[in-house]
Chain A
Amino acid sequence: AQSVTQLDSQVPVFEEAPVELRCNYSSSVSVYLFWYVQYPNQGLQLLLKYLSGSTLVKGINGFEAEFNKSQTSFHLRKPSVHISDTAEYFCAVKGQGGSEKLVFGKGTKLTVNP
């Protein structure tokens, strides 16, 4: 079984500041990792995913994440945030070779202030 821990439930930042949203996972097998974003009054949408290869993954809207197997982490970063990045961000994990079940963390609410 897999589980995801998002260490920060809320992250307030000022516009143009850098941000890091933390995600740690637990799994007895190798995993695939994902970040989804939920903008206000919208459905969840995929930001980026790690399947294999380079551990640094780039996604939409200038976000990137780095897979660290030894630390079982997949932190999300953006060097300079905009007001429009205000949303809830969910980290998710899927075990390789098993069910297609995607397990989500509890989410981090990012609020970008002017």
Chain B
Amino acid sequence: GAGVSQTPSNKVTEKGKYVELRCDPISGHTALYWYRQSLGQGPEFLIYFQGTGAADDSGLPNDRFFAVRPEGSVSTLKIQRTERGDSAVYLCASSLGGNEKLFFGSGTQLSVL
């Protein structure tokens, strides 16, 4: 595709439910990043993939958060037992790696009621 695609664009769920957020990176981009952006804050790093493997998952806040990229392309961020504090915009970005620029998607607005 032309850019990084994130689905859904909006997700409303209830406290305690499980959610999956999907990211389709730009074709050929080996690096994929997940960030979380709360209102009035900058993007907060969650996890970085190089190919299929999570090269750095130090930003995942706890074990309720998990992300996969099984074929080195599409990635899914999974959140178990959602809490109201998980409400934020979840951003995905991809790049060719190294210091090449990150291309960001428009994000998924997650609201936990």
Chain A residues with a Cβ under 8 A of chain B: 4, 6, 9, 32, 36, 42-46, 49, 51, 90, 92, 94, 99-107
Nearest 8 CB-CB pairs, A to B? A104-B42, A46-B101, A43-B104, A44-B104, A99-B56, A106-B42, A104-B43, A43-B106
User: Are B104 and A45 in touch, CB under 8 angstroms?
Assistant: yes
Please give the distance in Å from B87's CB to the nearest CB on chain A: 18
| Interface residue count on the B side (C-beta < 8 Å) | 28
User: Are B44 and A104 in touch, CB under 8 angstroms?
Assistant: yes
Give the complex CA separation of A98 and B103 in angstroms: 21
| Chain A, Cβ-Cβ closest to B49 | A100
Please give the distance in Å from B95's CB to the nearest CB on chain A: 9
User: Are A90 and B106 in touch, CB under 8 angstroms?
Assistant: no
Please give the distance in Å from B85's CB to the nearest CB on chain A: 18
* B45: Cβ under 8 A from any A Cβ: yes
User: Are A100 and B58 in touch, CB under 8 angstroms?
Assistant: no
Q: A44-B104, A106-B41 are in contact. Are A99 and B99 (CB under 8 A)?
A: no
Chain B residues with a Cβ under 8 A of chain A: 3-4, 31, 33, 35, 40-45, 48, 50, 55-56, 58-59, 91, 93, 97, 99, 101-107
User: Which residues of A are found within 8 Å of B33, using beta-carbon distances?
Assistant: 100, 102
User: Are A32 and B99 in touch, CB under 8 angstroms?
Assistant: yes
User: Which residues of B are found within 8 Å of A106, using beta-carbon distances?
Assistant: 40-42
User: Are A43 and B4 in touch, CB under 8 angstroms?
Assistant: yes
Contact of A102 among B45, B50, B103, B106 (CB under 8 A): B45
